[in-house]
């Protein structure tokens, strides 16, 4: 069965600093991989996704993620965070050909001014 | 385009009462998902539908939970009788197989508190 692990429950960074959120997945074939963001009181919004091709994918709001098959990872990065990036971030994996996604536990990001 | 619409946004009820949560997916989407979010368990998939037919309900916690999708534009999640441990935020999401992006579009959620 698919699974997703986000090792960091809570991360605090200073505004302007770089950010990397970790995601490891377990899946037999090449997965569909996603990062979603959830602001307080809101639903989840897609940041970026990987299906195939270039392993470095660009998303909205200046985020990017890199798929590393050898490490079963799909880490999310941003070179310089803004206070508005404070939110909860979820990594998810989906079956090829299926719409079902399995989400990680989420990483809560706090930004220090 | 309107997004996924859920109602009510907040519901406070007493143990034993029936709760009905409602969802209107994005027009044209053929998949609909119900997720539950809690601090302890994170985001759990409860059930999902394809073309109004339930495909996988293995995440439904027990018989007290039921979900229906009578047509392409409406779904309900019902809890009867409700218990305090059902307190959570329930999200509805929809997606399009035709678009084949795998992207889920989420509603803003229904926060349920069972006293």
Average pLDDT by stretches of 10, chain A with 113 residues: 91 97 88 92 91 91 95 96 96 76 94 92
Length of chain A: 113
Closest CA to B115 of B80, B78, B93, B85: B85
Q: Give the whole-angstrom CA distance, residue A99 versus residue A112.
A: 37
Contact present, A44 and B106 (Cβ < 8 Å): yes
pLDDT at position A104: 94
Tell me the per-residue pLDDT of B6-30, one tens digit each, with 9 for 90 and over: 999 999 999 999 999 999 999 999 9
| Angle (CA) B3 A99 A9, round 5° | 80
Best B102, B106, B108 residue to mutate vs chain A (most A CBs within 10 Å): B102
B112 forms bridges with which residues in the sheet?
Answer: B11, B88
Contact present, B53 and B66 (Cβ < 8 Å): no
Contact present, B35 and B46 (Cβ < 8 Å): yes
Q: Do A43 and B102 touch (CB under 8 A)?
A: no
Instruction: Flag whether pLDDT at B1 surpasses 70.
Output: no
Tell me the per-residue pLDDT of A89-110, one tens digit each, with 9 for 90 and over: 999 998 766 677 889 999 999 9
Coil vs helix vs strand at B21 = strand
Instruction: Flag whether pLDDT at B90 surpasses 80.
Output: yes
Q: Do A103 and B43 touch (CB under 8 A)?
A: yes
Q: Which residues of B touch A51 (CB under 8 A)?
A: 102
Q: Which residues of B touch A46 (CB under 8 A)?
A: 103-104
Q: Give the whole-angstrom CA distance, residue B115 versus residue A30.
A: 44
pLDDT at position B2: 82
Tell me the average pLDDT across B30-40: 93
Coil vs helix vs strand at B100 = coil
Q: Do A44 and B104 touch (CB under 8 A)?
A: yes
pLDDT at position B100: 61
Tell me the average pLDDT across B29-33: 93
**Phi and psi torsions of A39, nearest 5°:** -85, 155
Q: Give the whole-angstrom CA distance, residue B14 versus residue B16.
A: 6
A81 torsion bin: left (phi>0), alpha (psi -120 to 50), beta (else): beta
Best A43, A92, A95 residue to mutate vs chain B (most B CBs within 10 Å): A43
- Is B95 near chain A, with CB under 8 Å? yes
B50 forms bridges with which residues in the sheet?
Answer: B31, B53
> A98 CB contacts (<8 Å, ≥6 apart)?
none
- Is B38 near chain A, with CB under 8 Å? no
Q: Do B42 and A100 touch (CB under 8 A)?
A: no
Coil vs helix vs strand at B10 = strand
Q: Give the whole-angstrom CA distance, residue B94 versus residue B104.
A: 6
* Minimal Cβ distance to B106: which of A44, A100, A105: A44
pLDDT at position A98: 60
């Amino acid at each position: 069965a698919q699974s997703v692990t986000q090792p960091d429950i809570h991360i605090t960074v200073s505004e302007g600093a770089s950010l990397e959120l970790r995601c490891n997945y377990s899946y037999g074939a090449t997965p569909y991989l996603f990062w979603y963001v959830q602001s307080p009181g809101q639903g989840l919004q897609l940041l970026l996704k990987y299906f195939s091709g270039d392993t470095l994918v660009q998303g909205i709001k200046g985020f990017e993620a890199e798929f590393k098959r050898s490490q079963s990872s799909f880490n999310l990065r941003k070179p310089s965070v803004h206070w508005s990036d404070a939110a909860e971030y979820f990594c998810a994996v989906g079956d090829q050909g299926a719409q079902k996604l399995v989400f990680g536990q989420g990483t809560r990001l706090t930004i220090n001014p | 385009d309107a997004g996924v619409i859920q109602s009510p946004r907040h519901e406070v009820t007493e143990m034993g009462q029936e709760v009905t949560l409602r969802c209107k997916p994005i027009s044209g989407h053929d998949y609909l998902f119900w997720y539950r979010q809690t601090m302890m368990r994170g985001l759990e998939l409860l059930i999902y539908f394809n073309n109004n037919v339930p495909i996988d309900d293995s995440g439904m916690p027990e018989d007290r939970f039921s979900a229906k999708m009578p047509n392409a534009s409406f779904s309900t999640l019902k809890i009867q009788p409700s218990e305090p441990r059902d307190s959570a935020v329930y999200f509805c999401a929809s997606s399009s197989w035709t678009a084949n992006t795998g992207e889920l579009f989420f509603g803003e959620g229904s926060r349920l508190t069972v006293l």
